[in-house]
Amino acid sequence: MLDATQALTVLAEVADDRARVVLDARLAAIADDLRGNPWFRPGELPDTHFMRFVIIDDPRGELPPLLAWESNHDRATDAYLAEIARGVPTIERVFECCAGYPPGLIADVDAWVAWMKRHAYPAGAFYTSYRGVPRARILNDRDVHAAIRDVIDGDDRIELGGLPPAEIQRRICAEVKRRRPDLDCSATIDREAQWRTAVLAVLAIVALAVVAGLIALPCVAGAGWAALPLALVVAGVAGYGALRRREATDLASAYVRPVDVVAAVRDVEDQVAQNQLTHLVDLKPGAFRLALLWIVLKGINLLARFYFVHGALGGITAIHFARWVILRDRRPGVPKRHRLLFFSNYDGSWESYLGEFIDRAAAGLTAVWSNTRGFPATERLLGEGARDEEAFKQWTREHQLATQVWWSGVPDSTVQNILDDLWIRGRLDRGLADAELATWLRKL
């Protein structure tokens, strides 16, 4: 459950202006015909859920343009990249436009994997609604559900309807297996509930142990250690004070007119079932905000990894994969800057996605983005901020980037579809208690 589904983010500088022209043209050709273009076809990638290429231009013009590759893939990154090098070397047509990329590198699998990993940035926080579920499993379960639908849509429905529920389930199962012997219908046992309880218990014990340790420390290790808990409290109070002072003086962007939405951004939005968002904004200057953001992202990452395992990030049910990546840019002659990059692959419209953010997850998002420039004014890190609906939407629009190439490996399925398919397939071929069986039948 914990090891699969990796967030790979590769960032490399575009070599020069000439390479930029070539790269723009190639990415446009790829986006124009994802399946048939002569350069690189994302559908050939192994075990990939979603991927995108984005060219990141610095609005201030201080930093060189970057090519970003986002991939959400199964298995370990090394093995994944090696398989790409062997099976889909056409991906080089994209990366050969980057600075320091040796021509023909991909022929040397190990060297290519090493180059890619050198340019890979860790995600500050990574979230998925179905962590650890391989793409092959998602596609299989989608087909199992479709096969079940076919069985009960047929003329057998009326006859089936007269049978006891367990017998209906048995017959559906037998018929699906007969019609589609190629599909995997094996049952799964759901451990998510126990898992969550266990994680909460462990967290509670650790927290208690830390507190108890701090209290007990002076008694055990001598009075001198009494300074440690005291120092922590002082540091906490000081940090809080520093935050409140900054919140009082930070500049929030004021919007007196709506932000124009760039056509390139709008053109790739409002797809049928799924959508994407690329967002990049500078951090507020100084080490305090960087440190605070790092801590917040770590916290969200922990929650995403161990608590919001299946389904909903703080009540948002529409996110397939999302990640935040902190870019630390150090260039000679340019003041030190940090930027926060956000990629999301979600269901439905931009308006509904932003609405869910604001309505259901404002605290978490405010904790993250309040450390970046122009964000609507906040209170105590979590308060206000994203709750200012219009300002938050305008601010998001202001910093949104056009995504040149975006590809989904499960294009017609919503998060809810995927979770339902998994749940239904996992219960097709095993006995269920009456209540669960009734729910199972209603979900078909």
Partner 1 sequence: MTEGITDAEIDLPSEADLADIQGIVYSGWTDHPYAGFVFATLGPDAAASRAWLDSLRHSVTPVAKRCRRPQGRLQVALSPSGLAALGVPHDVIAMMPVEATEGMATRQRALADSDPATWKLGGPTDPLDVLVMVYARTGEDRDAQVQRERAALEAAGARVVASETSGPLVKNEHFGFADGVSQPFLSGQHTRPRPGEDRIATGEIVLGYRNAYGKLPITPQWGNCDLGRNGTYLVFRKLQQHVAAFWGWVADQARHLGGSDPAAVDALTAKLGAKVMGRWISGASLVLTPDHDDRAFATLDRINAFAYLDRDADGLACPIASHARRANPRDARGGPAEMSTKVVNRHRILRRGRSYGPQLPYEAAIAGRDDGAQRGLYFICLQASIARGFEFIQQTWLANPGFLGLNGEPDPIIGGGGGRPAYLTIPADPIRLRLPNVPAVVHNLGGGYFFVPSLAALERIATG
CA angle 5, 7, 10 (to 5 degrees): 145
Give the nearest distance from C-beta 256 to partner 1 in angstroms.
Answer: 6
**C-beta of 123: minimal distance to partner 1 in Å?**
26
Range list of β-strands (E), 330-403: 337-347, 378-379, 383-384, 400-401
Cβ 34 to partner 1, closest distance in Å? 18
Nearer to partner 1, 309 or 325 (CB): 309
How far apart are alpha carbons 71 and 86 in whole angstroms? 17
Of residues 91, 97, 168, 296, which one binds partner 1 by CB under 8 A? 168
Give the DSSP H/E element, type plus range, for residue 358: helix 350-360
Using the rule CB under 8 A, which residue among 317, 337, 424, 432 binds partner 1? 317
Q: CB of 31: closest distance to partner 1 in angstroms?
A: 16
Among 35, 60, 330, 442, binds partner 1 (CB under 8 A): 442
Of the candidate residues 258, 285, 411, 431, the single one contacting partner 1 (CB under 8 A): 258
CB of 298 to partner 1, least distance (A): 24
Strands, sheet with 48-56, edge to edge from the N-terminal-most edge strand: 6-13, 66-73, 48-56, 405-408
367 in contact with partner 1 (CB under 8 A): no
Name which of 410, 421, 416, 412 is nearest 176 in CA terms: 421
Cβ contact 187:430 at 8 Å: yes
Q: Which of 176, 196, 195, 193 is nearest to 185 (CA)?
A: 176
Cα 206 to Cα 409: distance, rounded to the nearest angstrom: 39
Q: How far is CA 20 from the centre of its chain?
A: 27
CA dihedral 347, 348, 349, 354 (to 10 degrees): -50
Counting contacts by CB under 8 A, is residue 411 touching partner 1? no
Which backbone phi and psi does 49 adopt, to 5 degrees? -85, -55
The piece of 44-52, 73-81, 243-251, 354-362 that touches partner 1 (CB under 8 A) is: 354-362
Nearest approach in angstroms of CB 349 to partner 1 is: 5
Q: Does 157 bind partner 1 (CB under 8 A)?
A: yes
List phi, psi (to 5°) of 135: -60, -40
- Helix or strand or coil: residue 257? coil
Q: Give the binding range for partner 1 (CB under 8 A) out of 84-92, 198-206, 296-304, 386-394.
A: 386-394
- Judged by CB under 8 A, the chain residues 269 through 298 that form the site for partner 1 are 270-273
- Residue among 175, 143, 178, 181 at smallest CA distance from 160: 175
Query: Contact region for partner 1 (CB under 8 A) — 50-58, 160-168, 276-284, 290-298?
Result: 160-168
Q: How far apart are CA 264 and CA 233, in angstroms?
A: 49
Q: Does 358 bind partner 1 (CB under 8 A)?
A: yes
Find the part of the chain contacting partner 1 (CB under 8 A) among 29-37, 200-208, 320-328, 410-418.
410-418
Kindly state whether residue 389 participates in binding partner 1, applying the rule CB under 8 A. Answer: yes
Would you count residue 416 as binding partner 1 (CB under 8 A)? yes
Residues that bind partner 1 (CB under 8 A): 149, 152-153, 157, 160-161, 163, 165, 168, 255-261, 270-273, 315, 317, 347-349, 351-352, 355, 358-360, 362, 386-391, 412-414, 416-417, 420, 438, 441-442, 444
